[in-house]
Structure 1
Amino acid sequence: MAKFTDHDDYIAAAPEQFRPLLGQLRSRLAEVLPDADELIVYDMPGFGFGKSIIAGYAAFSKQCGLYVSNAAITAHADEIVAAGLKFTKTGLTFSPRHPIPDELVTKLALASRRELGV
């Protein structure tokens, strides 16, 4: 697996069809979490402080993922389902056919930040 030094490198190495989605997600997270640092932790880009990740994202071969706290997912599970997305305890998947609405990204990131207390 490649080692990435920043978000630009990560997005450039992602499958081409996901690059616009990842760029949009990165921009939204940067807007919602303006004082958070852009980090690469466990070879995944994210926003947080030190080793505390508020929100991270990843690209895979068939979909992308947004990773936030369990409490954020639980608090917004109905909205995630209503958006036609699938989720686990700490993340949800999305694709060009089923992108994450910006408003939902905002809610998830802010809820994750509250849960982590940073």
Structure 2
Amino acid sequence: MTKFTDHDAYIAAAPETFQPLLVQLRAQLAKVLPDAEELIMYDMPGFGFGKAIIVGYAAFSKQCGLYVSKDAITALADDIAAAGLTATKTGVTFSTKKPIPDKLVKKLALASRKALGL
């Protein structure tokens, strides 16, 4: 398994079809969390402080995921469903056919930060 040292390397290694989504997601998260650091945790890029991650993202062979606190997922379950996306306890999956809306990214990132007290 490849160990990534930064977001650029992760995005460059992701499936080509998902790279534009990941670039957009990274930019949106940087805008929403301007004081957070770009981190690599669990071989996944994210934003947070030190060892505390607020939000992470990943690309797989058929979809991408945005990972936040379980409280953020619970609080925004209706928004996630309204966007036609699927959620797990700590993540929302999306693809090029069903991208995650910027407004939802913002809500999830801010809700996760609030839930984590960061």
TM-score normalised per structure 2: 0.99
The answer as to 2:85 corresponding to 1:85 is yes
Mapping of residues 58-77 of structure 1, within 5 Å: 58-77=58-77
C-alpha distance in structure 2 between counterparts of 1:59 and 1:51, whole Å = 21
Name structure 1 gaps, 5 residues minimum: none
Q: Matches of residues 1-118 of structure 1 in structure 2 within 5 Å?
A: 1-118=1-118
TM-score by length of 1: 0.99
Shift of 1:91: 0.2
Unaligned ranges ≥5, structure 2: none
C-alpha separation between the residues in 2 aligned to 1:65 and 1:96?
A: 12
Q: Output the CA distance in 2 between the equivalents of 1:103 and 1:117.
A: 21
**RMSD, aligned α-carbons:** 0.4
| Inter-partner Cα distance in structure 2 for 1:103 and 1:75 | 15
**What secondary structure is seen at the aligned counterpart in 1 of 2:2?**
coil
Give me the whole-angstrom Cα distance separating, in 2, the residues matched to 1:51 and 1:58: 18
Between the two proteins, the alignment pairs up a number of residues equal to 118
Q: Distance in 1 between matches of 2:68 and 2:42?
A: 15
Q: Which amino acid aligns with 1:114?
A: K
Letter of the 1:73 partner, please give it: I
SS for the counterpart of 2:100 is: coil
C-alpha distance in 2 between matches for 1:69 and 1:5: 23
